């Protein structure tokens, strides 16, 4: 399977470990990744200022994937995934807007086509590759390990566009963790937001949201939290000490991208997975 990758802005500018681990794990499942040449912003930063510009930016990336004949576009960032998916839904269901966007795209010799499938890390692994295929590749079973899964808001956000997992009872990330031999926990804060959307406007509130979830997870004696979104990872890993201080929680708790955890189970060297870049990770996980 040859698939283009849209990295967005957060991953290549600060969340290097996510990019490193994504590049490492997918070749194990015969998925060949290609950087999307000429990619632009997903449109998220300008959505509330100019919705037409946001729509165009999202569609432009799909048009590039179509131009280079990729059957799919992998979007590891959950926010970018939502924006590009929303743009696709909008143009597929609005003929007038489709004509307008096609005219704009033609100025760059681009053309939108609905034949490009948009993937997130979770559904590409869970739905396309499959849990059984992942189990068959595991070299280091993560037995005696227990993790909390954090699906995040954007990939389960209720919407007519359809999302990666069920908005009320998401289970795919848990299934993927269990495929590695680890346990997952049931906790009432599972669907709670990480607070990233408020980080630049209401800092204390954002940190309190993240801290409350981390504190609740700690009380269940987990080995760590697993996520798949750069914004969530920043809140739970990079901002962890500040977040826990807001709620009187203990520190630290390990936070990993799922692709890092998968890489450990596949036997990939830790440095290649960017584990040394994580702000919070304990020796037990590093010794797996």
Give the domains, in start order, of the chain with CATH numbers. 2-119 (1.20.1050.140), 131-286 (3.40.50.11810)
Alpha carbon distance 204, 213 (integer Å): 14
pLDDT of residue 252: 87
String of DSSP letters for the chain: -EEEE--TTHHHHT-HHHHHHHHHHGGGGT-EEEE-TT----SGGGTTT-HHHHHHHHHHHHHHHHHTT-SEEE--SHHHHHHHHHHHHHHHT-HHHHHHHHHHHHTTT----TTPEEE-HHHIIIIII-HHHHHHH-SS--TT-EEEE---STTT---TT--SS-SSS--HHHHHHHTTT-EE---TTTT---SGGGTTT-HHHHHHHHHHHHHHHHTTT-SEEEE--HHHHIIIIITHHHHHHHHT--S---EEEHHHHHHHHHT--GGGGTGGG-SS--HHHHT-
For the chain, what is the largest distance between any 2 Cα atoms, rounded to a whole number of angstroms? Answer: 57
The tokens describing 93, both together, are 């269901």
Q: Which of 203, 282, 277, 284 is nearest to 245 (CA)?
A: 203
pLDDT band at 6 (very low <50, low <70, confident <90, very high): very high
pLDDT tens per residue, range 262-281: 999 999 999 999 999 999 98
pTM greater than 0.85: yes
Q: What is the mean pLDDT of residues 69-74?
A: 94
- pLDDT, tens digit, 9 for 90 and up, residues 186-202: 999 999 999 999 998 99
d(CA 119, CA 31): 12
Average pLDDT over residues 143-148: 94
């Amino acid at each position: 399977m040859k698939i283009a990758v849209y990295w967005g802005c957060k991953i290549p500018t600060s969340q290097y470990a996510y990019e490193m681990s994504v590049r490492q794990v997918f070749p194990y499942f015969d998925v060949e990744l290609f950087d999307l040449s000429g990619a632009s912003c997903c449109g998220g930063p300008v959505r509330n200022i100019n919705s037409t510009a946001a729509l165009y930016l999202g569609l432009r990336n799909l048009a590039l994937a179509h131009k280079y004949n990729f059957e799919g576009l992998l979007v590891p960032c959950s926010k970018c995934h939502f924006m590009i998916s929303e743009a696709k839904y909008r143009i597929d269901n609005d003929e007038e807007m489709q004509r307008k966007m096609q005219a704009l795209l033609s100025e760059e010799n681009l053309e939108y086509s609905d034949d490009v499938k948009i993937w997130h890390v979770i559904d590409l692994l869970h739905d396309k590759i499959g849990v059984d295929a992942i189990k068959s590749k595991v070299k280091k079973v993560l037995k005696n390990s227990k993790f909390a899964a954090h699906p995040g808001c954007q990939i389960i956000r209720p919407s007519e566009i359809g999302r990666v997992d069920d908005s009320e009872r998401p289970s795919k990330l848990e299934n993927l963790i269990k495929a590695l031999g680890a346990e997952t926990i049931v906790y009432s804060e599972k669907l709670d937001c990480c607070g990233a959307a408020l980080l630049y406007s209401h800092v204390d509130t954002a940190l309190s949201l993240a801290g409350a979830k981390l504190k609740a997870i700690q009380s269940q004696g987990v080995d760590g939290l697993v996520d798949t979104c750069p914004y969530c990872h920043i809140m739970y890993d990079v901002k962890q000490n500040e977040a826990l201080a807001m709620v009187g929680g203990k520190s630290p708790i390990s936070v990993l991208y799922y692709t890092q955890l998968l890489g450990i189970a596949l036997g990939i060297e830790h440095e290649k997975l960017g584990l040394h870049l994580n702000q919070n990770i304990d020796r037990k996980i590093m010794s797996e």
